[in-house]
A and B are shown apart, each in its own frame.
Chain A
Amino acid sequence: MLRKLLGHLGLAPPAHPTFAENWRYFKELSLNKPLADYEFIVFDTELTGLERHDEIVSIGAVRIRNLQIMVGDTFYVKVKPQKKLPKKTTLIHRITPQEIENAPPLSTVLPKFIAYCGKSLLVGHYIGLDIAYLNQAYRHHYGAPVSNFCLDTMRMAQTYTEMQWQLHLDHLQTEASASYSLAALNTRYKLPEFTHHNAYEDALQTAYLFIFLVKKMKPKGVISLRDFLKIGQTWRIFF
């Protein structure tokens, strides 16, 4: 019983073989190599809302290898939620009820996503939120949360900004209250512009931000996975 609970919290090897394998892999993974040596999946989910009972309606993801985005190796699915789609979110995500009517349920999507992620590290913008919903689903279907290491591009951006402060002592120029939304960062760092809005395009945009930050932070001494985990892994616990 305790073991099951620990597994549920990710503190003991889960019962599910794939999850157990990942758990062990990440427990032993060397953290001292430069970031370019690891593979990443940058992903974004779209939700019906931000309440606990809300559900995932789409997952978009791109693979990063050698700190380059593999455009041809991407993942995008729409998911049919168990409850009806509320009108409000439809407007934001441009996913209409008809569009997801024929979409598969999360139970058939998850194994594909797990296979796609494999032993890659996970990256997201404000990733805590996405992971919370993903873990909720994982626990429900597999009895265990994700073991893959996660990096949060929002935390990374904040750290990068702080580094700039230290460098230039120019607190006024980069206000502490500045927005860290994906769109705001995109403008601030002059990244290529994006017009689309779905989970896949958001993931791609996050991937741009990720490789930008990693390469810009390298000369400042943030090099190994350990360095990045120190700043990028802390995220808010949602539920």
Chain B
Amino acid sequence: MMTSKNPVSNIAPETVLDFLHHTLPFNELDDQALRELARHCIIDFIPKGVVIFRQGETQIEHLYLIQKGGVKLYLEDDHGQITLSDFRGESEYFGALPIMQNTRANLNVATVEDTFCFLFPKTAFLKLLESSPKISHYFLRSLSEKLVNTAYAELRRHRISPRSESALYLFSTQVGTAIKGQLQTIAAEASVRQAAAKMSEKMVGSLLVTNPTGKIIGIVTDKDLRTKVVAAGLDYQTQITTIMASPVQTIPAHAVCFDAMLRMVRQRIHHLAVEKQGEIVGMVTSRDIMLLQGTSPFYLFREIVAERTLKGLHSLAHKVQRVVRSLIEEGAKADNITKMITVLNDRILERLLTLLIEELGPPPLPFCWLMLGSEGRSEQIFKADQDNALIYAEAEDQAKMTSAAKYFENLSVKAVDNLVQCGYPLCRGEIMASNPKWRKSTFEWQKTFDAWISKPKPQDGPRSTIFFDFRPGYGDFSLADQLRQHLIKSIPNHGLFLYLLAKNALEAQPPLSFFRNFIVEKNGEHRNSLNIKANGLLPIVDFARLFALKNGIRQSNTLSRLQVLHERGQIKTELYDETVKAYEFLMQLRLVHQLHQTEEGRQPDNYINPSNISDLEKQTLKESFAVVSRLQHQIKLEFRLSEH
């Protein structure tokens, strides 16, 4: 029996294994790799208040994974000034960056609680990075965040205050597109002095060395000049080939920038030659890649705000979508992503209307651009049809009203047209500010809403609901607020309107059978699929809208509406918690589904085939639909609507 022969190597350190099984990114490893890693593990206890790493001093020998307790990471400058950088707690690690960069501790690390850590020796960790791409991606991603932060620290002196940033575009941008400028070469027989002259003339940090036949045989960088020539006291007439690095490290043009960074970090180099069909077409440097990361949401935000032309705005608007993927990669939830997209879209609208007003001259009367439907609820991720309207203030003077109407027509038509160019398609139902029906004065708008509320017709149900989700987008927000105030006052007194809204909210049933099986589409294009928007998300949106309007709640976002309802005790905590979970899950599922579709160049839809999702997702989806049933039951009770 094995155990009796060699007991030592056969013990599974279950405690460690269990922990790793539940810890990112180690849970990605297969069982054997985990066991191998666990075998090298050392458990250490560090009492509260002990400094484990000293910045610039400690040679890091282990990756530390916190089993229990916590540490703080902080920087100390030359004057002894301490800047707190981060806290790390259970299941989080420290020490990875200095190991990968082969440097001493980059920060001070001290325990803030009694702490137990799993220590993995440097060699075991490096071996793991080599053998497991998933692990190295994970660590390098967090590493790249830190690199960016370092880059920002340098920028701080010039203009901006740094923010925590992440490696957003690294995964979607190909190396080929990151090339800046022409490829610069120098002949092999040239001297060091000539190389230095050419570098400063062309303002580049590296030159490729070519032999007489034009073949690239090596690379020389400004660092080589510093370390191998100047610092070493070498004669400037030395032939360039003696200091060049050979062969040149290359990367295919179609590789993503993340891979380029991975190579640079691993090989501790700053330049890579970009290869396309066997030919070197340019160079990328670590600096180029860091600059590229500048197009993260924060940067995009700044660019939008600073954009001076409509044309520039159109192209920036198309970048918004690219943020989604990166955010998902970073582990953001649908709710966070919609918030980010909403902020960016709002900025684009603001900028767009500002530029148009600069062009058309100041508006004759105060106005407000209204966003309706999913945009009004701040729930849009992928660009959907435009739903917007315009409201403007009243004037005594009839002539002024007429000229204002003309001005706003002009503004709206141009705005809608520009939004199309930004990638937001026209609304098929013509619910847009460019349509004179949806461009009115405050009084006209009140009249329109009053008509919907006091003389509701069953047929204007679904169409009018999107108006009730309006949100001010640009201009004088008080006009929108007054309108909302008007609704808050009048709606609760109109039982029939609410009754019809309630009936309307029950129209789409969750696709679950009596036995809690999915009911899928039987035929057509979406055979065997479920529409998670119509039968899952929208009933929740309808529920939140119905109860928000009934209770005079001004919010338009579904989660905010639910939150206020819960705070006011109008929905029980348990139902609230489950509804939020169901809603977030459905949003997430839809988001991932639509992302796949857009990346495959297809038009995003809402149809999920249950056989394409995992068992856990299926289970959660069923539970989410069950929550929808409970919400609809609640509506039936509240409005005395019998089963139909």
Contacts and interface: CB of A to CB of B under 8 A. Distances in A.
B42 A71 contact: yes
B16 A77 contact: no
Interface string A62-86: 0000011111111111100000000
B11 A192 contact: no
Interface stretch (A12-20, A24-32, A150-158, A196-204): A196-204
A192 B41 contact: no
A112 interface: yes
A102 interface: yes
B415 to A, nearest CB: 60
B232 interface: no
Interface string A101-130: 011100011001000100000000000000
Contact of B11 (A74, A108, A207, A215): A74
B455 to A, nearest CB: 65
Contact of A71 (B7, B39, B45): B39
Contact of A108 (B4, B16, B42, B45): B4
A215 B49 CA distance: 12
Contacts of B38: 71-72
B38 to A, nearest CB: 6
Contacts of A116: 8
A75 to B, nearest CB: 6
A204 B17 CA distance: 14
B312 to A, nearest CB: 56
Interface in B24-45: 38-45
B11 A75 contact: yes
Interface residues of B, number: 26
A102 B14 CA distance: 23
Interface string B1-16: 1011001100101111
A212 B15 contact: no
Given A74-B8, A192-B67, A194-B15, A212 B42 contact: no
A140 interface: no
B62 to A, nearest CB: 10
A215 B45 contact: yes
Contacts of B11: 74-76, 200
A192 B68 contact: yes
A208 interface: yes
B275 to A, nearest CB: 43
A208 B4 contact: no
A68 B44 contact: yes
A116 B9 CA distance: 12
B119 interface: yes
Given A68-B119, A196-B14, A208 B114 contact: no
B366 to A, nearest CB: 61
A77 B15 contact: no
B169 interface: no
Contacts of B16: 71
A6 interface: no
Given A73-B8, A116-B8, A191-B116, A201 B1 contact: no
A41 to B, nearest CB: 12
A208 B8 contact: no
B47 interface: yes
Interface in A33-77: 67-77
Contacts of B8: 73-75, 116
A71 B116 contact: no
A77 B4 contact: yes
A215 B116 CA distance: 12
A190 B42 contact: no
Nearest to B15: A204
Contact of A103 (B1, B39, B47, B119): B1
A230 interface: no
Contacts of A192: 15, 67-68, 116
A72 B4 contact: no
Given A77-B4, A78-B3, A216-B47, A72 B114 contact: no
B238 to A, nearest CB: 50
Given A68-B42, A78-B3, A215-B47, A201 B116 contact: no
A76 B68 CA distance: 25
A50 B39 CA distance: 34
Most buried by A among B7, B16, B118: B7
A211 interface: yes
A72 B116 contact: no
A212 B7 contact: no
Question: Which residue among A68, A71, A211 has the maximum number of chain B CB atoms within 10 Å of its CB?
Answer: A71
A146 B10 CA distance: 26
A109 B39 contact: no
Interface in A175-210: 189-192, 194, 196, 200-201, 204, 207-208
B4 A104 contact: yes
A113 B116 CA distance: 28
A189 B41 CA distance: 23
A108 to B, nearest CB: 7
B41 A71 contact: yes
B4 A109 contact: yes
Contacts of B114: 189-190, 212, 216
Contacts of B67: 192
A72 B39 contact: yes
B35 to A, nearest CB: 10
Contact of B45 (A74, A78, A208): A208
B42 A102 contact: no
Interface string B112-135: 001010110000000000000000
B14 A75 contact: no
Contacts of B42: 68-71
A102 B1 contact: yes
A194 B3 CA distance: 23
Contacts of B39: 71-72
Contact of B14 (A67, A77, A201, A211): A201
Contacts of B1: 102-104
Interface string A213-224: 001100000000
B47 A208 contact: no
B438 to A, nearest CB: 61
A103 B4 CA distance: 7
Contacts of B3: 76-78, 103
A73 to B, nearest CB: 7
Nearest first, the 7 A-B pairs at minimum CB distance are: A69-B43, A72-B39, A71-B41, A104-B4, A211-B45, A192-B68, A71-B13
18 contacts: A69-B44, A71-B40, A71-B43, A72-B38, A74-B13, A75-B8, A75-B11, A77-B4, A102-B1, A103-B3, A104-B1, A112-B7, A191-B116, A192-B67, A194-B15, A196-B14, A211-B43, A215-B46
Given A69-B43, A215-B45, 14 more contacts: A68-B43, A69-B42, A71-B16, A71-B40, A76-B11, A77-B7, A103-B3, A103-B4, A116-B8, A190-B68, A192-B15, A194-B15, A204-B15, A215-B47
